[in-house]
Amino acid sequence: MANLGILGRSVLRKSNESVRLTIIIFIGMIFGFLLGISFSSVTITKLRIPSSIFSYITDKNSVIYNHQWTTVRSQNKDSSFLKPSEASKIHVPTNPRGAERLPPGIVSSESDFFLRRLWGEPSEDLLKKQKYLITFTVGYDQRYNIDAAVKKFSDNFTILLFHYDGRVSEWDEFEWSKHAIHVSARKQTKWWFAKRFLHPDIVAPYEYIFIWDEDLGLDHFNAEEYIRLVKKHGLEISQPGLEPNNGLTWKMTERRPDREVHKETVDKPGWCKDPHSPPCAGFVEIMATVFSRGAWRCAWHMIQNDLVHGWGLDFALGKCVEPPHEKIGVVDAQWIIHQVVPSLGNQGQAENGKAPWEGVRERCKKEWTMFQDRMEAAEAAYEEKSWTASRSSAQS
Ligand SMILES: *[C@@H]1O[C@H](CO)[C@@H](O)[C@H](O)[C@H]1NC(C)=O
């Protein structure tokens, strides 16, 4: 019945559309005629009119109409209204890089993942705009775990899956998968995907962005409730508490059963420079990280293109919020279990008598060192530069 209804409406709409099309063509012809006879007296330099108002191709199922716009210049040679070179420049400092020639009103510098229709009124495409984004980086082997996990996120979430094994279409056995966004690149990591497909201008509509691994047990987790707590406690970067098991690496991320959230901990002697420094505070892991829109805008810029595992990033996240020991924390009341399922970590290459996972682990550590070195070098270079600048301004 429902299907019949839709069919009926679409037939009706089609005939409405062809009436509308006829009217538009007719008006266009009159307009063109009037323009033609009045053209010699018009003294504007640049005027845009459609050269062929509508050329349309009809086939069995569709009508595609194609506007071809051309610039018509006036014959009036001595017009000094705008010189072409000046006309092509618009100086608006707020325009994004590369868009300096566009009038700001046409600049749309942000986008989203909202799915649109191929027909109808564009303004009526989106019945709902999701407020949050959840991404999982997945292999097909983990589909049942992800299926269970996805059910913990309400329809206020856009679901985005990053596939590292190329098996994308098979996920359609789950109804939700048909409405999810799927991105596929073989043997690439979560941070590789995040850098390339979660640009801050693309995810700008989402208030919170979850960038999660696939091997998390979410039986004791509810995403809406999680967000309520994150807002209540002012957390810009967070993660759910981890049930202690062999997947637990840091004291900070261990779940505390008596709290809603915690923002600091005491770790082994010598591990933390001071009580407010990572991994004792201002610290969460990169396995189930949740960013506010603003914090992600910063963190995205820190991800170096040749570093794919993200090791060391967790220690630097504090640079993105102020003060880190208050804006970064662990949500204890909505907690998860790290199941430690071997996935990409096993998919290295056996080399020099070493197992594939050993090569991956070595690369992880190497990246951590590289990241640290680059951060230190960048900070030193910046300090040096500001010191020189302040000296020269003091002298002048
Ligand atoms: C989605 O968000 C709205 C607005 O914040 C809220 O009222 C609603 O309860 C949320 N949906 C679910 C399923 O929690």
- How do residues 111-163 score in pLDDT, each as one tens digit? 999 999 999 999 999 999 999 999 999 999 999 999 999 999 999 999 999 99
pLDDT band at 43 (very low <50, low <70, confident <90, very high): very low
Q: Which atom of ligand 1 is nearest to the CA of 155?
A: 13
Distance CA 86, CA 138 (A): 52
| Ligand 1 atom with the shortest distance to the CA of 154 | 13
Q: Ligand 1 atom 6: the closest Cα is on which residue?
A: 156
Q: Is the CB of 154 under 6 A from ligand 1?
A: yes
Model pLDDT, residue 247: 72
Contact call for residues 67 and 60 (beta carbons, < 8 A): no
Higher pLDDT, 116 or 53: 116
Q: Is the CB–ligand 1 distance for residue 304 below 6 Å?
A: no
Mutation test residue for ligand 1: of 134, 151, 156, the one with most atoms within 8 Å of CB: 156
The answer to whether the CB of 224 is under 6 A from ligand 1 is yes
Looking at the whole model, is its pTM more than 0.85? no
User: What is d(CA 135, CA 287) in angstroms, rounded to the nearest whole number?
Assistant: 12
Q: 255-300, pLDDT tens digit by residue?
A: 999 999 999 999 888 899 999 999 999 999 999 999 999 999 999 9
- Does the beta carbon of 231 lie inside 6 Å of ligand 1? no
pLDDT at 304: 96
SS (H, E, C) the chain: CHHHHHHHHHHHHHHHHHHHHHHHHHHHHHHHHHHHHHHHHCCCCEEEEEEEEEEEEECCCCEEEEEEEEEEECCCCCCCCCCHHHHCCCCCCCCCCCCCCCCHHHCCCCCCCCCCCCCCCHHHCCCCCCCEEEEEEECHHHHHHHHHHHCCCCCCEEEEEEECCCCCHHHHHCHHHHHCEEEECCCCCHHHHHHHHCCCCCCCCCCEEEEECCCEECCCCCHHHHHHHHHHCCCCEEEEEECCCCCCCCHHHECCCCCCEECECCCCCCCCCCCCCCCCECCCCCCEEEEEHHHHHHHHHHCCCCCCCCCCHHHHHHHHCCCHHHHEEEEEEEEEEECCCCCHHHCCCCECCECHHHHHHHHHHHHHHHHHHHHHHHHHHHHHHHHHHHHHHHHC
Q: Given pLDDT bands bounded at 50, 70 and 90, which one contains residue 344? A: confident
**Which residues are CB-neighbours of 167 under 8 A, at least 6 positions away?**
139, 140
Domains of the chain: 1-78 (no CATH), 82-109 (no CATH), 132-377 (3.90.550)
Q: What is the CA 26 to chain-centroid distance, rounded?
A: 44
- Ligand 1 geometric centre to CA of 187 (Å): 36
Pocket test for ligand 1, best of 154, 158, 222 (most atoms within 8 A of CB): 154
- What letter represents residue 160's amino acid? L
Greater model confidence, 346 or 17: 346
Distance CA 186, CA 101 (A): 38
- The answer to whether the CB of 129 is under 6 A from ligand 1 is no
* Statement: residue 170 has pLDDT above 50: yes
Distance (angstroms) between ligand 1 centre and the Cα of 2 equals 27
Looking at per-residue pLDDT, the higher value among 203 and 84 belongs to 203
Please determine, for residue 354, whether its predicted confidence score (pLDDT) is greater than 50: yes
Ligand 1, closest atom to CA 131?
A: 2
